Chains A and B, each alone.
Chain A
Amino acid sequence: MRKLALSLALLGMFGTPALADEEAERQAHWAELREAVFGDRAAVAAADLIALEAPKRALDAALVPITVTTKPGSDVTGLTVVIDDNPGPVAAKVSYGPRGDASLLTLRVRVNQYTYMHAVAETSDGALHETAQFVKAAGGCSAPVGAGEAESLAQIGRMKLRLSGEVAAGQPVDAQVLIRHPNFNGMQMDQLTRLYTPMRYVQQVEITLNDERVLSMENDISLATDPAIGFRFVPRAEDLPGKLKVVVRDSDDAVFEQSFDVPASGS
């Protein structure tokens, strides 16, 4: 995975269209990226199966909230989010396990320049379904480290889980996990020492319900500080009450894990 991430990072840095506003070049760039990630598998532009929501103009390029939704029951096994013109364009590659539900994924990402974002769903028949959104934001990747990052580093690995709505067997439950991590992407320079703050970012997140997989996610350097992942899981009757476990591994091979109680709210 690390090799893949590196080669994609190079693509992102050198494959960027010279004339950034040329639509045709943007499309060509996406075709290159798609081939690097998915090989020559054709994608179906299926607007009714997958949707990507992102602010058209970001308020804070270092924290751009995005939402991917897929039509419930469409048998999605994986979701990939690509920020075309970011260094390290593959923001997240998620694959779902038996307790997972791909109908909702939310992330917070950094955006380095005006770019297309793509979300691609893979269904169990092996087909790819893609959608895109253009986002106006700039400077999010090299935005200087602030007070917040210092705190994130001090509390690295701390996690929070939020569940919303009721928890009932057979029903998708909305959840969000917050992970304290500075997610240094190696592009933030310390002007005094002229050295870049060393890269250290969340590379892998694995979420299980009672040891059965909800999802696993691989990330490159595009997630915002303190990664926040919104997802859905579907408990069975025998899973409740249960334990949702989150295991995070970063690029320094540090592993953080935490278990959260999932009550049976019953109501």
Chain B
Amino acid sequence: MLHRRHLLLGGLCACCLPLTRTRASSFILTEVAPGIHVRRGVDEDASPGNADAIANAGFIVGQESVLVFDPGGSLGDGAALRAMIREKTQLPIRTVVLNHVHPDHIFGAGAFLEDKPDFIGHARLPAALAARGDYYKQRLEEILGAGAAGPVVMPTLDVADAAEVDLGERVVRLKAHGPAHTDNDLSVFDAETGTLFPSDLLFVGRVPALDGSLNGWLAELEALKRIGAARAVPGHGPEQVNWPAGAADLERYLRTLVEETRQAVRDNIGIEAAVEQVAAGERGRWTLFDAYHGRNVTQAYKELEWE
């Protein structure tokens, strides 16, 4: 699946090419800071052509081991990421961070089972995966084909508040957040280079998706802005943005969503009308706006009408 678009574009038949050496054009690694490599996800929805490689994925190399953050969006995507890691380093892959429950961030984990790493997630991730994992797998395989999503990998270690992982003369910090983008967001911070991996607590360019708490997301973002990072690797968007400047668009979107939804609830206009009106000024500033914004307003309305 991963290679289909490439093959079609090349006008060649699949049987003529050694599959393991072909790669979709989106599979380009960027070293955003020493020892930190990021593969940019495409700003699309999952399709056979992109193998669900729609979120940013990457890894951090220490002196003794490798940490993977966001192992990719499907088994094939994870396998491609693993192959790229192996081109850079032979150090053992000891840690795979499952940033949150969404399929585009975790289904690559199956490609790392052979490394027997610690799979680390938020303390609420097991429950979220238990409730949604098979459902996401089914939905993803409807798009990518049977078996293409990969297994639902459960965390082997969970973080209730904060934790540290030593990669060998490089200690990264993990932080479990309150309900925000989802109720199981886990961020990673590499103090050595001042690099923050907020995963989907940070969207840049691609319209944010709300699946946790709108008020909570703004609060967590505020705390992250003060973490002292120089750059951040968004869950969706470019390989890196300056921090906290790179959070400005997201913050504006979320604040507008809060303010205009509150107004809609006060005016009692109902969800249908709110979907049409709330934060309509944000249209044109984000890709995939029409695919997700209405749902965000629905979620926001449902949350804020109980304030």
Contacts and interface: CB of A to CB of B under 8 A. Distances in A.
A164 B268 CA distance: 7
A180 B126 CA distance: 25
A251 interface: no
Interface string A218-247: 000000001000100000000000000000
A146 interface: yes
Interface stretch (B56-64, B77-85, B298-306): B298-306
Contacts of B183: 146-147
A190 B182 contact: no
B132 A108 contact: no
B135 A144 contact: yes
Interface string B169-209: 00000000001001100000000000000000000000000
B147 interface: no
Contact of A190 (B131, B268, B270, B298): B131
B213 A147 contact: yes
A192 B213 CA distance: 25
Contacts, number: 64
B41 interface: no
Contact of A147 (B135, B179, B298, B305): B179
Given A144-B132, A145-B131, A230 B298 contact: no
Contacts of A17: none
Nearest to A225: B302
B141 interface: no
Contacts of A59: 275, 294-295, 298
A211 interface: no
A60 B179 contact: no
Given A160-B305, A178-B306, A142 B135 contact: yes
Interface in A110-145: 142-145
B272 interface: yes
Nearest to B135: A144
Contacts of A143: 135
Nearest to B134: A191
A163 B298 CA distance: 21
Contacts of A174: 268
Interface of A: 53, 55, 59-60, 63, 65, 67, 106, 108, 142-148, 158, 160, 162, 164, 174, 176, 178, 180, 188-193, 226, 230
Interface of B: 126, 129-135, 152, 179, 182-183, 211-213, 268, 270-272, 275, 294-295, 298-299, 302-303, 305-306
6 contacts: A60-B295, A148-B303, A160-B305, A180-B306, A192-B130, A226-B306
